[in-house]
Amino acid sequence: GWKMALLENSPLSNFLFDTDEYETPTSEEQIAVETTVEEIFKLYCAPLIEDTSKQDLESQCPVQTKLDNVKLLRNKHASYLLGGLKELSSSFESLDASRPWLCYWMVHALNLLGEEIDADLKSEIVFFLARCQSPTGGFGGGPGQYPHVAPTYASVMTLCSIGTDEAYQVIDRPRLEVFLCSVVNATTGAVHVEVGGEADVRGAYCAMAVARLLDLNVSRAYEPVAMWLARCQTYEGGFAGCPGMEAHGGYSFCAFAALILLGKEKLVDVDALSRWASRRQMRFEGGFQGRTAKLVDGCYSFWVGGIFPLLQMTMASGGDSYGELLCSRRALQAYVLVCCQWPRGGLIDKPGKRRDFYHSCYTLSGISVLQYFPWNEDQVPAPGSRVFGTAANLLEPTHPMFNIRVDKVAAALAHFKQPVV
């Protein structure tokens, strides 16, 4: 909102939330967030006056310079992430069933920063994930836990992000293929996250992403899944976790990505999804919300921002042109870099929240995927002016389908392009 108001010669108030003179707890929370964001941006920008037409815009150059020099705190983020890989406090006990996810969030974020993990630490991570693998196939949330589709995705993506022969050899592909086929309901098409467990679109995405990356033959078992996913698209255009529920950013990414992996993306209303996704970018803050009438959250930098390259893939395959007007990558980067960086390293949901590995991973993933958008799978484009702040803010490219680094995807596809024996 700040730079747009300045450059478009319009009052800043045009970008603020309008209560329509009817205040609710939701509107009060939104106004509180906008107030906090405004205070933070004032540290980088001189206050904008309501009538900029009376002022020479050239005199505002220092305002632009301060914003354009915003820096990604690379070294501090890397230190925070590496520290977490080596040791976590007892406060993380509540995430005992999400330990592969902690590995993924930290390893992937470090990969995006271009930080190398030393060989000994890589081996320790590989050894730990091997202990999370079930004898019956798939990975659990920790050693000895039941196999579950979500930590299976996290484990496989972490191992492929490490990308060593040692990491690849951990994965028991034949048993994993059996496990992925066992969680599909052949009647409804729903994918359960574990045998007998809940079913939602996250399970379908995690399973299909793993199957595609490892070249597993699950196509027959997953034939009914596409129609079930199509039923999850709501009247708004986004996707819910299961049919009849509310559209959500994370579910929308998972459902649409799973449909593309199944080759069935044309089953759904792509135009409606485009409209819904573009409306999730907040006018004032610049970041994305996950649902209609909700607050901005840094993690949706990827869960919603990652939908746009998928839309571009789909429209391009149908011969349609796809512009860059559905979201503002610079506004998103400005929000993350100005409002979501913890001073000592790590990234956050929104001002006032604490840093964590989850938001560190997905804010960086969102920046990366939009820095390299529009996406060309055959040739990664040079970002150029797509980078907000200094040129050093350019991250490594993440693949919009798998959300691991592009070169790691290429290496895994090359390694596993062989029959399951």
Catalytic residue list: 248, 291, 294, 297, 299-300, 349, 356, 359
Task: Evaluate whether 135 touches 148 at the Cβ level (below 8 Å).
Answer: no
Task: Evaluate whether 102 touches 132 at the Cβ level (below 8 Å).
Answer: no
Task: Evaluate whether 271 touches 298 at the Cβ level (below 8 Å).
Answer: no
- The whole-angstrom distance between residue 416's C-alpha and the CA centroid of its chain comes to 25
Phi first, then psi: what are they for 224, rounded to 5°?
-80, -5
CA distance 385 to 9: 22
The H-assigned helical ranges of 279-400 are: 300-303, 307-317, 329-339, 357-371
**E strand residue ranges, 134-283:** none
Task: Evaluate whether 123 touches 162 at the Cβ level (below 8 Å).
Answer: no
Burial pattern 168-188, b for ≥16 Cβ within 10 A else e, equals bebbbbebbbbbbbebbeeee
CA distance 75 to 379: 29
Phi first, then psi: what are they for 154, rounded to 5°?
-60, -40
